[in-house]
Amino acid sequence: MGCVPLSSGFTSGDLLQYAIRLRRRPAIAYPVLVAAIAAATLTRWLLDGQVVAGPFVTYYPIIIIAALIGGFWTGLVSISVCAVLGWYVFLSAASPLLLETLTASTLLLFFALSLLNVALVTIVNNALIRLSEQERNVRSLVEALPSGVMVINNQGIIAHVNAAAERVFGYPRNDLIGMPALSLVPDRFRVKHRRGFAAYLENPEARGLGRDREFKGKRRDGSEVSIEVGLTPIERSGKRAVVATVIDISERIRAREQETLLTQELQHRTQNLFAVIQAIVGRTLVGELSLNDAKQQLTARLNALAGAHNALTRTAWEGVSLAKLLERELGGIAPNAIAVTGCDILVSPSAAQQFALIFHELATNAFKYGALSLPSGRIAVSGLIKESAETKQFIFRWAECGGPLVPKPARKGFGSSILIEAAQQFGMIVGADFEPRGLIYSLVVPVEDIEASVGQVVPFVRGVAEQSTPTPT
């Protein structure tokens, strides 16, 4: 990335990194130094009196390399070794008994220059190591960021990317680097963004794109992704570039759309619920009922409606099984008194409300006047999906027997309104036959009008759906 000046030359296996690796492996570093000192001594001996002037000239590069590899103290040891070798091999041969003034001066000059070299190399070496570590840390940090990061030069070419940018656009890193940044913009926006990028380089400043309006990126497969882009200008060696941070906000947009949809749906359901409650209250309180009877009926009907809502809440309003609604109304009845078959269809929230009220009225009438008012009474509840070339229908049937004689009601109350008039709003055929043996209620409705949108059936394995009592005849 080259975010630290002069550091790009020390990040790809070059001299500094090689020296650092040797320093971390002294078992290799010190034999290398010994071999280098021996080679320098041999070179000086072979070139004696021909090219090289001075006994220590060939040792200076070795001392610098020693300081680079091992640091200050390794360089100091190398100075001492080279001084002894140089004196013994080259100086003592010329003056074997005493160190003359020239010899002493040569040694002192060698020590001084070598110490200066070691000190300078150590300072520069430590500084470069810190810079290298700093850049490596910055690279690791950028690579670990969850947001995509791209460095774009002043010609609009991508110079660096991190792993998150690869994930956002679906390209491998090697393909992204060197690619024009406009290649990641949908075709219809490229002219506009080319002008915008040129204007941005004229007056660069930190800014964000896609926060106030949706901003699109183009993935490798041609699909578009909603992104939010932050631009930060940088400058190096007099050249301008841009660091672009890219965030995939597709999930955020989907969540926002889902939130809007849920809000609208909640508003619709709330209005519908209040309309149903208003109708229940208005029709229950009409007639000659006492205040106490009206209160009991109203409470029972609202409880039936609340039960449907509770069942829907447990399924995140995706739908509820008719068998569960029946269980709520009939779950306390003796097992031999009722049989339920074929009612595992998953119905929509609006249909669940209607069926909950219908089941409540059927159960209430059965307890008060019908089959469940006598111990001998029986009820058979069945559901059947019938398909034809034109339609797919759900046939619901409630049949009572074994109860008292059932006369046809002389007047039509709110219960009859729910069973007939309200059911006709979504049913094709609605019938209530008050036969002497007991009430037979039937409802035929298109499956598509009542089935939940998830389109699945929820098995029902307990309660009233378990019973296998024969159908009353």
**CA angle (456 as vertex; 455, 457 as ends), nearest 5:** 135
How far is the C-alpha of 468 from the C-alpha of 461, rounded, in Å? 12
- Answer with the one of 87, 121, 144 that is the final residue of a domain: 144
Is 189 in the same domain as 314? no
Is 76 in the same domain as 139? yes
Tokens of 360: 């409540």
Say which residues have a Cβ less than 8 Å from residue 328's Cβ, sequence separation at least 6.
304, 307, 311, 356, 359
Q: What is the CATH number of the domain that holds 219?
A: 3.30.450.20
Q: Tokens 């080279």 label which residue?
A: 82
Under a CB-based contact definition with an 8 Å cutoff, are residues 227 and 208 in contact? Answer: no
pLDDT > 70: percent of the chain = 77
427 backbone dihedrals φ, ψ, rounded to 5°: -105, 145
Chain CA centroid to CA 327, Å: 39
How far is the C-alpha of 152 from the C-alpha of 210, rounded, in Å? 18
Is 21 in the same domain as 54? yes
- Answer with the one of 144, 168, 194 that is the final residue of a domain: 144
The helix-helix angle for 349-368 and 322-330 (nearest 10°) equals: 30
Tens digit of pLDDT for each residue in 369-397? 889 889 899 999 999 999 888 889 999 99
- The 8-class DSSP code of residue 282 comes to H
How far is the C-alpha of 28 from the C-alpha of 42, rounded, in Å? 21
Q: What is the pLDDT tens value at each position of the chain, 473 positions in all?
A: 444 333 343 334 455 566 666 666 666 667 777 888 888 878 877 776 554 556 677 888 888 888 877 778 888 888 888 888 877 777 765 554 445 666 777 778 888 888 888 888 888 878 877 887 887 888 888 888 888 999 999 889 999 999 999 999 999 999 999 999 999 999 998 888 888 888 888 888 888 775 656 688 999 999 999 998 989 998 877 788 899 999 998 888 888 888 887 777 667 667 766 666 776 676 666 666 677 777 777 777 777 777 777 777 776 667 888 888 888 888 778 778 889 999 988 888 888 888 888 888 898 888 888 898 898 999 999 999 998 888 899 999 999 999 888 777 666 666 677 778 777 777 778 888 888 888 999 999 999 888 887 544 333 333 333 333 333 33
399 backbone dihedrals φ, ψ, rounded to 5°: -125, 125
How far is the C-alpha of 102 from the C-alpha of 87, rounded, in Å? 12
Is 394 in the same domain as 453? yes
Tens digit of pLDDT for each residue in 233-281? 988 777 888 999 999 988 888 888 888 877 776 676 677 666 667 766 7
Is 173 in the same domain as 239? yes
Is 103 in the same domain as 155? no
Which helix (H) or strand (E) is 236 found in, with range? strand 224-236
Under a CB-based contact definition with an 8 Å cutoff, are residues 412 and 286 in contact? Answer: no
Under a CB-based contact definition with an 8 Å cutoff, are residues 66 and 33 in contact? Answer: yes
- Answer with the one of 144, 177, 196 that is the final residue of a domain: 144
Is 179 in the same domain as 137? no
Say whether 30 sits in a helix, a strand or coil: helix
- Give me the sign of the Cα torsion angle 64, 66, 71, 75: negative
Under a CB-based contact definition with an 8 Å cutoff, are residues 213 and 249 in contact? Answer: no
Q: What is the CATH number of the domain that holds 364?
A: 3.30.565.10
Tell me the residue length of the chain.
Answer: 473
341 backbone dihedrals φ, ψ, rounded to 5°: -140, 150
Write the CA distances from 354 to 103, 226, 296, 446, integer angstroms. 114, 42, 20, 14
Q: Is 294 inside a domain boundary? A: no
Q: Is 286 inside a domain boundary? A: no
Range of the domain at 416: 307-466
How many CA atoms lie less than 13 Å away from 216 in the CB half-sphere? 11
Is 23 in the same domain as 99? yes
Q: What is the DSSP string of 351-406?
A: HHHHHHHHHHHHHHHHHHTSGGGSTT-EEEEEEEEEE-SS-EEEEEEEEEESSS--
Is 317 in the same domain as 434? yes
How far is the C-alpha of 375 from the C-alpha of 218, rounded, in Å? 72
Is 126 in the same domain as 239? no
How far is the C-alpha of 354 from the C-alpha of 308, rounded, in Å? 9
Chain CA centroid to CA 321, Å: 32
Q: Is 166 inside a domain boundary? A: yes
Is 195 in the same domain as 125? no
Q: Is 258 inside a domain boundary? A: no
How far is the C-alpha of 62 from the C-alpha of 37, rounded, in Å? 6
Under a CB-based contact definition with an 8 Å cutoff, are residues 300 and 360 in contact? Answer: yes
Q: Is 1 inside a domain boundary? A: no
Whole-model pTM over 0.75: no
φ/ψ bin of 384: left (φ > 0), alpha (ψ from -120 to 50), beta (otherwise):
beta
| CA-only gyration radius of the chain, Å | 45
Q: Is 391 inside a domain boundary? A: yes
Domain total in the chain: 3
Number of H-type helices and E-type strands within the chain = 16, 13
Chain CA centroid to CA 103, Å: 76
How far is the C-alpha of 227 from the C-alpha of 238, rounded, in Å? 31
Count the neighbouring beta carbons within 10 Å of the beta carbon of residue 368. 10
Is 37 in the same domain as 133? yes
Q: Is 149 exposed, middle or buried (0-12, 13-18, 19+ CB in 10 A)?
A: buried
Tokens of 95: 């003056």
Q: Is 30 inside a domain boundary? A: yes
Under a CB-based contact definition with an 8 Å cutoff, are residues 308 and 324 in contact? Answer: no
Q: Is 284 inside a domain boundary? A: no
